[in-house]
Amino acid sequence: MTAEMVLDPPFRPARGASDAACLPPPVTRLSRSCWRGRIVTGGDRALPEEIPVALTYNGSSQAVMMATPADLEDFALGFSLTEGLVRAASQIESLDVIPGEFGIELRMFLSRPQAERLQTRRRIKAGPTGCGLCGIESLAEATPPLRPVESQLRIGADVIRGALETFALKQQLNRQAHALHAAAFWQPGGDLVLREDVGRHNALDKLAGALARAEIAAKDGFVLLSSRVSVELVQKAAAMGTPILVALSAPTALAARACAAAKLTLVAIAREDSFEVFTHPERICGASSWR
């Protein structure tokens, strides 16, 4: 996850390869009884779906993650980029979304040079919901050195407050099911790009894929997270190249140190009326507009 992403014209899946009609919905309603004191009522509740998703490259499985069955092409591309498996979308020659009896396969074939490179650094990951470190082969792999983020971006406090308001409004799946994480990207003059998933790592991967497909450079805006900030999320954000990370919850101490080393501004415990800046505060100013 140390290589900088390269934005170029996104790949396009083979015609008919992604059969969205065969995918389960991201949210399902299930019946339940509700107990309030001595009163029991019936009804149903919307719950998020999670399903095993296998990411395969040139016929070999690289990862199996539990994920929400939505925006899976974004997930495949974003995971490939933030994990350093590819540096550009064009290195993925094809992507098929294949529903199966036990889950969904995201079947990718890489260009020959990248496929050969991948073979030299096999990294099999199989984890529970949103797991970011399962399957690594050494302790050193857990905290690799990160390339410092280079950006002249400066934002005002009111920009963060405005982004937080929009962030809450656009979480449509979580508004239905109340159990999903979200990752979003805010840039001057653009709409908030947001992706949701039961896994916080998956949500950020989906966002990375969405930005790459839209040819949006992450260095020109900042990322918002609904979750706490762990070091794996910092690694993915640094790989994306975003200069500012804003989170609703707190960071771990290791995540804060990683942000400091990567020259990434960390804003956390963000609310409508307050937030805390842990690293590189020079990017946060009192101005009321972007500059």
In sequence order, what are the beta bridge partners of 63?
55, 125
152, HSE (Cβ side, Cα atoms, 13 Å):
1
Strands 44-48 and 27-31: antiparallel
Domains of the chain (ranges; CATH) run: 20-142 (3.10.20.10), 155-285 (3.40.140.10)
Sign of CA dihedral 72, 142, 233, 244: negative
Between CA 232 and CA 136 the distance in angstroms is 12
46 token code pair: 């919307």
With residue 57 as reference, give the H or E element that holds it.
strand 51-57
Angle between helices 200-213 and 231-240 (to 10 degrees): 0
Q: How is residue 116 written in tokens?
A: 């050969």
Give the chain's end-to-end CA distance (angstroms, integer): 29
Structure tokens, 241: 């190249």
CA distance 125 to 148: 26
If you search the block for the tokens 């916080």, which residue do you land on? Answer: 200
The pair phi, psi for residue 124, each rounded to 5°, is -90, 125
**What pLDDT is stored for residue 196 in this prediction?**
98
pTM for the full model? Answer: 0.85
Identify the DSSP state of 129: T
Per DSSP bridges, beta strands 51-57 and 104-110 are: parallel
Query: Where do runs of H (alpha helix) occur along the chain?
Result: 72-82, 112-120, 157-169, 172-177, 200-213, 231-240, 253-261
In this prediction, residue 116 carries a pLDDT of 81
Residues designated as active site: 131
pLDDT at 268: 94
Q: Read off the pLDDT of residues 65-101 as tens digits, 9 standing for 90 and up.
A: 999 999 999 999 999 999 999 999 999 999 999 999 8
- Please provide the size of the chain in residues: 291
Q: CA 51 → CA 66, 70, 104, 181, 255, distances in Å?
A: 5, 11, 8, 15, 28
Q: Which segments of the chain have a pLDDT < 50? A: 1-3, 9-17, 123-130, 135, 137, 287-291
**97 has which bridge partners?**
106
pLDDT at 78: 98
DSSP class of 70: S
pLDDT at 115: 87
Q: DSSP strand E in the chain: where?
A: 27-31, 34-36, 39-41, 44-48, 51-57, 60-67, 92-99, 104-110, 125-126, 155-156, 181-186, 193-197, 222-225, 244-247, 265-268, 276-279, 284-285
